[in-house]
Structure 1
Amino acid sequence: MSRNNDIEVSQVKATADPSPLGLGGFALTTFVLSIGNAQLIPLAAKPAFLGLAFFYGGLAQLLAGMQEYKKNNVFGATAFSTYGAFWLSLATLSVFESTGVIDWGGYAGTALGIFLLGFTIFNTYMWIASFRTNGAVCGVFTTLEITFILLVLAEFGIISSVPGGIMGIVTAAVAWYASAAGVINSTYKRTVLPIFPLDKIEKKY
């Protein structure tokens, strides 16, 4: 039994950290969509995020979440799997709307507002949990929380999408930093980009 346990432990140690992939997929997809929300590109160009939402922010991030399960990382598995599914869901809704499969009947803002509100609730408790990870990851969930709130207000017609778009760009930048830290620090085998641990007990997110 102990030998089998040793084998399992060695396999876990040999598994590459999937979080830089998940963070990278989230960052790039968020960036492209947020450029559109910030109205920095023509409205007709906004669907450019769809391919990323299906494959990079969606599929690749979902796969990263599945790998986090193997590492016994509840936080990472829940975050990456959920946001992978978020992008797949959002992209599917966008395609269904554009092809006429869904007819919002003038209530598109309300429907998407409720959709985003649900993810805001999810992000709130993940944000609280991120206090026990590190500054880079906590920064992602903090900026994302603000982004979601602003986008919900925009969908309900209270404000424009520009503030949420700008905050989304900030979120993408923070997520890119966290992803880059995971890749560069691992490659150089030393801390090149600090992730600012928030817990005195060293742990991996």
Structure 2
Amino acid sequence: MSSTTDIREERTTQTAPTPAPDPTSSIADPGPLGLAAFALTTFVLSLFNAGIAPEALEPIVLPLALFYGGIVQLLAGMWEFRKANTFGATAFGSYGAFWIAFAAYVQIIEPELAASGVPESSITTATGIFLVGWTLFTLYMLVASLRTTGALVAVFATLFLTFALLTIGDLTGVDAIATIGGIVGLVTAFVAWYASAAVVTNATWGRTVLPVGPRS
């Protein structure tokens, strides 16, 4: 009787399927690249929103918004799809598209509105409408981030405040609120830079050098 059992156990062991290797194990984490692209572009734009940099120099944001914050971050989002990271793919893909859309809006749409005689106050309102949807999107991404790391929660919390303040400032025409939004945007940029630096540094050193906080 015991011999029969042993044979069955041996057959079970022999026929047990071997776990398939992870096909993405050799692919680098695209998250730090996406965060870095987001951080730098947000930092430069926030300098103008906060009134720190002169408004006449604001066009320097556009190349960053198109190439680094836009295209590079969009690529990071597509690589996140390959890594089977739904959260990262949605975040980087969306905010990459945001920066490209922002560059097009500032470079094409705003001048057309002004040339067609639309008042400056109405153009500011249009900018607020442009930002409303991104505020709502960031809110539910903030909720989703609660299941990631403390560093990412901080990024989305400060980003939500940034979008909310800029949106309110543009819709109401109160420049002081938009200015505060620019200041919070600077905080957002530094938090995103930290999150990016933490992943790169920890991966390079092979241990936790910069903590990102436990998963919720």
TM-score, normalised relative to structure 1:
0.90
Instruction: State the alpha-carbon separation in 2 of the partners of residues 57 and 90 from structure 1.
Output: 10
Q: How many residues align?
A: 195
Q: Is 117-126 or 101-110 further displaced after alignment?
A: 101-110
Q: Are 2:215 and 1:190 aligned? A: no
- What is the CA-CA distance between 1:100 and the residue it aligns to? 3.4
C-alpha distance in structure 2 between counterparts of 1:52 and 1:80, whole Å: 15
Pair 1:105 & 2:106 matched: no
Corresponding residue number in structure 2 for 1:181: 198
Q: Within the alignment, does 1:55 sit opposite 2:55 as a pair?
A: no
- Cα deviations by residue, 1:30-89 (Å, 9 ceiling, x for unpaired): 000000001111111112111110000000000000000011111000000000000000
Q: CA deviation at 1:154?
A: 1.3
Q: Is the 8 A contact 2:158 2:188 kept in 1?
A: yes
In the alignment, structure 1 segments of 5+ residues that lack a partner are 200-205
| Structure 2 residue 29 is the aligned partner of structure 1 residue 17 | yes
Alpha-carbon shift at residue 101 of structure 1 (Å): 7.3
Q: Give the distance between the partners of 1:182 and 1:109, measured in 2 at CA.
A: 38
Q: Does 1:64 align with 2:81?
A: no
Measured after TM superposition, the shift of residue 98 of structure 1 is 5.9
Structure 1 position 99, deviation (Å): 4.9
* Partner Cα distance (1:170, 1:48) in 2: 20
Structure 1: distance between partners of 2:140 and 2:168: 20
Q: State how far apart, in whole Å, the 2-side matches of 1:122 and 1:104 are.
A: 32
- Given the alignment, which residue of 17, 20, 24 partners 1:6? 20
8 Å Cα contact 1:27/1:176 also seen in 2: yes
Contact 2:48–2:182 at 8 Å: present in 1 too? yes
Q: CA deviation at 1:198?
A: 2.7
RMSD: 1.7
**Which moves more between the two structures, 77-86 or 101-110?**
101-110
Q: Which 4+ residue blocks in structure 1 deviate beyond 2 angstroms?
A: 97-104, 158-161
CA contact (8 A) 1:153 1:159 kept: no
Structure 1 residues 96-105 or 29-38, which shifts more?
96-105
Structure 2: runs of 5+ lacking an equivalent: 1-16
The corresponding residue for 1:203 is: none
Establish whether residue 165 from structure 1 lines up as the match of residue 182 from structure 2.
yes
Say which is worse superposed, 98-107 or 188-197, in terms of deviation: 98-107
Task: For 1:158, give the aligned amino acid.
Answer: V
Which of the two has higher C-alpha Rg? 2
Q: Is contact 1:62-1:85 (8 Å) kept?
A: yes
- Which of the residues 96, 103, 124 maps onto 2:139? 124
Q: For residues 168 and 198 of structure 1, what CA distance do their matches in structure 2 show?
A: 24
